[in-house]
Homo-oligomer: A and B are copies of this chain.
Amino acid sequence: MLDFKAFNILHPDGTLGEEARNNPSLNPEQLLFLYRLMLLNRRLDERMIMLQRQGRIGFYIGSAGEEAAIMGSAYALDERDWIVPCYRELGAALIRGYPLFQLICQFFGNAEDIVKGRQMPNHYGNRQLRFVSISSPVGTQIPQATGISLAIKIRGGSEVVLVYFGDGATSQGDFHVGLNFAGVYKTPTIFFCRNNQWAISTPTRCQTAVENIASKAQAYGIEGVQVDGNDLLAVHAVTSKAVERARQGGGATLIEAVTFRLGGHSTSDDPKAYRDEKQVEQWRQRDPLVRLRSYLINGGHWTEDDDTGLEGEIKEQIQENLKRAERVPPPAVDTLFSDVYDTIPWHLREQQEELEGETE
């Protein structure tokens, strides 16, 4: 699994490969911006998983090991572009400028959660940021993304749409219809598959008989490319190219980022029950965060001290937001009945009164 031939720029040891020459890299400032957010992402995940263990939140989905795939791609977008996430793209939300406090309130499902405590942790969404509402059903977002991008095309817009999903999602009918519509209508869509090798306990070889998920693009007449998903530079380069092509009317791309889920599927999952620690260890050697840090330090853009400092900052930032969020009360009971429709119909109004009456 580790000798895949996916497109790569930054080697696991933090040195640049040949491809660096052919691809405009990100400048140190950009890289540091990304590194900061990647570290925040990692620490936030760790912290929330701990909170879940302590019973302070109900559930959590982490993304350790997949940050480069998620953030390298999201960073290739403009503000005007749309992100259609699944549940594991916290990094994309952070890149997008999703306020940390808002995210944490969502994890608590409290009164300041902008989705009003209506969904499980990790199922946020922010219209202003063009970061679409997350749902659990695997794959549903894929053809929706095609729809957004078709609307853009119809209206002559210049935006593109980046949609995320896992290797498991490629088995759903919705994957097929989403990519097929995109091929037929030549929409500005980037289909970004995080192939993290596992769908809960199911390995990718049980999802598909082909080795290369990116090759499925051929069936739809769109571009396909496989990239080292733990290489921030490669992911960014490949996605930028796809964005460019989409923006210029060249149609959709399927990107397969080969990566690995270092943690459990979610806090409900114990991966030791189904996978070999050796595989995990091998992939830990390819940790995208460590790789980027090595590169930054080797290049003289960053020091161990800087890192210690950043760790401290992040810890405090998370701590502060957590403290604030934990003080926020749960959503008001009447939020149970709003937003089912734009206005509350008679039967829901009655049910609301009934709830008030019956629990007096």
Contact = CB atoms under 8 A, between A and B. Distances in A.
A171 B174 CA distance: 11
A279 to B, nearest CB: 20
A177 B171 contact: yes
A221 B208 CA distance: 8
Interface stretch (A193-201, A209-217, A283-291): A209-217
A185 B218 CA distance: 22
A8 to B, nearest CB: 24
A contact patch SS: helix
Stoichiometry, copies per complex = 2
Greatest chain B CB density within 10 A among A174, A206, A210, A219 is at: A219
Contacts of A207: 180, 184
Nearest to A171: B180
Nearest to A224: B219
Interface string A166-200: 00000111111100100110100000000000000
A220 interface: yes
Contact of A175 (B176, B215, B218, B220): B176
B218 A210 contact: yes
A93 interface: no
Interface string A213-255: 0011011111000000000000000000000000000000000
A183 B172 CA distance: 14
A221 B219 CA distance: 12
Contact of A210 (B171, B215, B221): B221
Given A183-B210, A219-B219, 10 more contacts: A171-B177, A171-B180, A175-B176, A176-B177, A184-B207, A209-B221, A209-B222, A210-B218, A215-B219, A218-B218
8 contacts: A180-B209, A184-B206, A184-B207, A209-B220, A210-B219, A210-B221, A215-B219, A216-B219
Interface of A: 171-177, 180, 183-184, 186, 206-210, 215-216, 218-222
